[in-house]
Chain A
Amino acid sequence: EAQVTQNPRYLITVTGKKLTVTCSQNMNHEYMSWYRQDPGLGLRQIYYSMNVEVTDKGDVPEGYKVSRKEKRNFPLILESPSPNQTSLYFCASSFRRQGANEKLFFGSGTQLSVL
C-alpha cells in the first residue's frame, strides 16, 4: 500500500531533550516536506527536500533540523525542544521534485507535547 509513515503518533517530552520524528514513504517520491499544524494558523512548512542530500528551509525552520540521506526517509530533528514547538506535525511527499503543484501525500501526523 502506498503510504507515508510517521512515527511516533504521540510524543510527550521535556524541554531540551533531543528527539527525532521519523518519516518514510514507499512511493519513490522525489519531494518531501514537513509541516506543523497549529489552531487558527493552518499548516506551515518547516523544511522541504527536492531530492537526496537537497534540503531547504520553509517558513518556520527555527529550532528544527532535517536530513535526506536516502530517498525514502526524511526525519525531523528537534535538538533542544521548547514548549512553543508543541504542535501537530505532518510529513508529506509528492512524485515530482517540484513538489506541491500536484498532489501531496500526507502521513497521519505526530502530536508532540513539550513540557
Chain B
Amino acid sequence: GNSVTQMEGPVTLSEEAFLTINCTYTATGYPSLFWYVQYPGEGLQLLLKATKADDKGSNKGFEATYRKETTSFHLEKGSVQVSDSAVYFCALSDLQRDSSYKLIFGSGTRLLVRP
C-alpha cells in the first residue's frame, strides 16, 4: 500500500540555520503531497502542498518540490526561527474505492530551533 517515510527527529538547529526534513513516499498513481505542521498544544495546519510532479509548494519561507523520479518531497527553509519549532508531518492523499481521499501521514519530525 501507499506509505510515507520521514527522517527521524528531533532535529535541533540554531536560529538562522538551513533546514531540510527528508520525506519519501511509496504510491501507485500520482497522489498529491502535503506538509502539515503541529505547534505545541495545537492541531495540525496545512503548511504547503503540491499536486503533480515538479510542482513546488511554498509558504512562510518553507518550500518542497514534488520529485517523481526520486519519490521525494523534502521540506526546506533557508533560515529557521525559534517560532518554527514544531512537529512536521509529510503526507500523501490516497484515493479510496468510494472516491474519497484519505491522508496517509509519516511519523512526524520534531524540529527544535535554539536562539
Chain A interfacial positions (CB closer than 8 Å to B): 4, 31, 33, 40-45, 48, 50, 56, 58, 90, 92, 97-101, 103-104, 106-109
Closest Cβ of chain A to B63, distance in Å, is 18
Q: Are B102 and A58 in contact (CB under 8 A)?
A: yes
Q: Does B113 contact A (CB under 8 A)?
A: no
Interface-facing stretch out of B12-20, B66-74, B103-111: B103-111
Q: Which of A43, A100, A107, A109 contacts B101 (CB 8 A)?
A: A100
Q: Are B43 and A4 in contact (CB under 8 A)?
A: yes
**Which residues of the other chain, B, contact A33 by a CB distance below 8 angstroms?**
102
Interchain CA distance A43-B90 in the complex, whole Å: 11
How many B residues, CB 8 Å from partner?
A: 23
Q: Are A99 and B43 in contact (CB under 8 A)?
A: no
Number of A-B contacts (CB under 8 A): 60
**A59, closest chain B residue (CB):** B102
Interchain CA distance A59-B43 in the complex, whole Å: 20
Query: Beyond A108-B42, A108-B43, is A101–B105 a contact (Cβ under 8 Å)?
Result: no
Q: Are B107 and A106 in contact (CB under 8 A)?
A: no
Closest Cβ of chain B to A8, distance in Å, is 14
Query: Beyond A42-B107, A43-B89, A99-B102, is A90–B44 a contact (Cβ under 8 Å)?
Result: yes
Query: Beyond A106-B45, A109-B43, is A101–B89 a contact (Cβ under 8 Å)?
Result: no
Closest Cβ of chain B to A112, distance in Å, is 15
Q: Are A104 and B107 in contact (CB under 8 A)?
A: no
Q: Are A90 and B43 in contact (CB under 8 A)?
A: yes
**Which residues of the other chain, B, contact A41 by a CB distance below 8 angstroms?**
107
Query: Beyond A101-B32, A106-B44, is A48–B100 a contact (Cβ under 8 Å)?
Result: yes
**A43, closest chain B residue (CB):** B105
